[in-house]
Amino acid sequence: MVRRYFKLYFLLAGAYVRSRLQYRLSFGLMCFGIVISEICLLGLLGALLAKFRTVNGWTWAEVVFLYGLGNLAYSFMRILGSQLDDFDRYIVRGELDSVLIRPVPPLFYILASRIELIHVSRALTSVVIFVVAFHLSGIRWTLGVALFTFTTILSGTLIMFTLMLISATVALWTTKSGKLTDLLISATKEATAFPISIYPLAVRLLLTFILPVAFVTYYPAQQLLQKGEFLGMPELFQFGAPVVALVMLCVSYLFWCSGLRRYHSTGS
């Protein structure tokens, strides 16, 4: 069963990758563009912190650490979940109808039909950025740290994915969602690049409980960087990422299912 799905996934995703690689120059330019923009943004961040030294007591290395961590989760999510980006296309063009009659779960089919290798370039850049920042922040690699980092990145990817899924699902009610999903995920990603201690309480609560992206970077970083900066939240939050990811996974999948149940074709 599981093996069948794996095979199916690679079959579908592989077809998409092959079609993308037909336009090699464009593919290359896009990868190049992403890498350049990542490096440049980092350069600007560097220029900024060279002037100011610290943000709320966080050094450049520590901010880059946060940025790299968020970016890693973001790029993995982008590789696997790009299809949710313009999911409303399925509804506007009536393509969802044909997905619903296939003998696989609709969400599986939708995700499998596109795997965006362009974002591998972002992931690789992020890995380099993260590893360097990791080193500069003075963290020692031990088995425990490695495991914790791995879990954090995995949970972060899932949390970002579920936010994407929830905002894509909204289109089942409203038909069109435009750039909404893309915007939401970019905004939350941006928000996690900096220590949330710079925001007022309302924004911190928003990023902790409603769009829980603080669990992608900020809280796990407390454990890795030993900052001990919890802003009145329970210290347990530093280990909270996997739990939040699981809860979000359930919530978003239920939301998706209820959206599908009430879905009516646009008839176009």
200 binds another protein (CB under 8 A): yes
In the beta sheet, which residues pair with residue 58?
55
Counting contacts by CB under 8 A, is residue 28 touching another protein?
yes
Q: Which of 6, 7, 14, 36 binds another protein (CB under 8 A)?
A: 36
Strand partners, 55: 58
Instruction: Indicate whether 254 belongs to the interface with another protein (CB under 8 A).
Output: no
Instruction: Select from 202, 233, 205 the least CA-distant residue to 219.
Output: 233
Q: Which stretch binds another protein (CB under 8 A): 2-10, 46-54, 71-79, 127-135?
A: 46-54
**Type of residue at 176:** K
Q: Determine, following the binding rule CB under 8 A, whether residue 128 of this chain makes contact with another protein.
A: no
**14 interacts with another protein by CB under 8 A:** no
Binding span for another protein by CB under 8 A among 37-45, 108-116, 136-144, 241-249: 37-45
Kindly state the tokens that stand for 190.
Answer: 């941006």
Which of these ranges, 10-18, 150-158, 188-196, 250-258, lies near another protein under the rule CB under 8 A?
Answer: 188-196
- Judged by CB under 8 A, which stretch of 103-111, 129-137, 180-188, 217-225 contacts another protein? 180-188
Note every long-range contact of 105-112, with CB atoms under 8 Å and residues 24 or more positions apart, other chains counting.
106/260, 107/165, 107/253, 107/256, 108/5, 108/9, 109/12, 110/83, 110/84, 111/80, 111/81, 111/83, 111/84, 112/8, 112/9, 112/12, 112/13
Count the residues of the shown chain that bind another protein, applying the rule CB under 8 A: 42
Inter-CA distances, 200 with 73, 196, 214, 231, Å: 25, 9, 14, 11
Q: Which residues bind another protein (CB under 8 A)?
A: 22-23, 25-30, 32-34, 36-37, 40-41, 43-44, 47-48, 51-52, 55-56, 174, 176-180, 183-184, 186-188, 190-191, 194, 197-200, 203
